[in-house]
Amino acid sequence: MDLDWLKDFLALAEQKNFSRAAEARNVTQPAFSRRIRALEDWIGVPLFLRSAQGATLTPAGAYFQPLARDLLRNLQRLQRETRAVGEHERGALSIAATHALSFTFFPGWIRRHMRFEALGTLNLSSDSMAACEQIMLGGEVHFLLCHHHAEAPTRFEAERFQSIQVGDDMLVPLCAPDAQGLPLWPLPGTSERPARLLAYSQASGLGRILSAQTALAQDTAGIATVFTSHLAATLLTMARDGHGIAWLPLTLAEEDLARARLIRAGPERFDIPIEIRLFRSPDCRNDAADELWAGLQAR
């Protein structure tokens, strides 16, 4: 749960009007409404009755209001006290990164942009995109490094979470070669011999990016999903062993391509250009994070 959801809830309970509450929270009304709905979805019941006259608390909302106020107060106190304890570690830097990027892109990237002798501690959390988003929304890390595409949604509102592009990548459909060096599972596939897709789950950011490509879906009607995972490295191994096609980031698959253990399953029209993007937390800040961000902006 995002801490701002509690602040939004309390603002709307006080103002009893979406536009006034959104203005008080310095956020657009559509974004404010989405966050209220997200809180209600997280709790599982409506908290407000909506009408032309405004918004009033449901019985569940009235029950939740004092609890939300106490919870917010306690969380803010814990944040202040914990931050004070950690002041002696102002050089520590915490970064969440999706599995594929933590394995390939991150080591060289952080070495180019940070002087390790100036760091106190560097903490890297590697997980799926869904898990990394949760860590980021909880204010547990300074940054999130992930693949990004403009058509694929994230949980980060642009007015609250700054981001900067730090690299480029490409999702390419790859499969093992047959005895003649041709694709074992050629695209676009046919109804008689559909191509076998090794797919990403929705917990994967790469899975969201692929799902957002409506033109690609129309061009790959002859594909049958046979395996699903949130790990690109798992899909790479499955593709290398001949089990099907996987849309893999070039940053991850370049060695297998160079050694011809994987080859393109179809023409370049199936490629998807993507960004490597760094998101900054508005809630977790220190000197090391400020130094890294300033350096990236200067470049």
What is the mean pLDDT of each successive set of 10 residues along the chain, which is 299 residues long?
89 92 88 94 94 92 94 81 58 88 91 64 89 87 94 87 95 95 88 87 90 72 86 95 96 95 93 96 85 86
Say if residue 258 is in the same domain as residue 217: yes
One domain, residues 23 and 11:
yes
Residue 12 and residue 137 in one domain? no
Residue 88 has a pLDDT of 45
Alpha carbon distances (Å) from 250 to 9, 98, 104: 43, 15, 10
Does the pTM surpass 0.85? The reply is no
Residue that finishes a domain, picked among 27, 57, 86: 86
For residues 282 and 151, membership in a common domain is answered with: yes
Q: Are residues 259 and 175 in the same domain?
A: yes
| Same domain assignment for residues 233 and 283 | no
Q: What is the pLDDT of residue 215?
A: 63
Q: Which domain holds residue 194?
A: 169-275
Residue 93 near residue 123, CB atoms below 8 Å = yes
Shared domain check, 41 and 7: yes
Contact between 93 and 289 under an 8 Å Cβ cutoff? The reply is yes
Do 23 and 104 share a domain, yes or no? no
The last residue of one of the domains, among 58, 86, 114, is 86
Kindly report the CATH number assigned to the domain that includes residue 11. 1.10.10.10
Distance CA 96, CA 125 (A): 5
Per-residue H/E/C for the chain: CCHHHHHHHHHHHHHCCHHHHHHHCCCCHHHHHHHHHHHHHHHCCCCEEEECCEEEECHHHHHHHHHHHHHHHHHHHHHHHHHHHHHHHCCCEEEEEEHHHHHCHHHHHHHHHCCHHHCCCEEEEEECHHHHHHHHHCCCCCEEEEEECCCCCCCCCCCCCCEEEEEEEEEEEEECECCCCCECCCCCCCCCCCEEEEEECCCCHHHHHHHCCHHHHHHCCCEEEEEEECCHHHHHHHHHCCCCEEEEEHHHHHHHHHCCCCEECCCHHHCEEEEEEEEECCCCCCHHHHHHHHHHHHC
pLDDT score of 83: 64
Q: Are 118 and 24 within one domain?
A: no
How many structural domains are present in the chain?
3
Are 7 and 147 contained in the same domain? no
What CATH number did the domain enclosing 185 receive? 3.40.190.10
Regarding whether 286 and 271 lie in a shared domain, the answer is no
Same domain for 188 and 215, yes or no, is yes
Quote the pLDDT of residue 82.
73
Structure confidence at residue 8 (pLDDT): 93
Per-residue model confidence (pLDDT) at position 86: 60
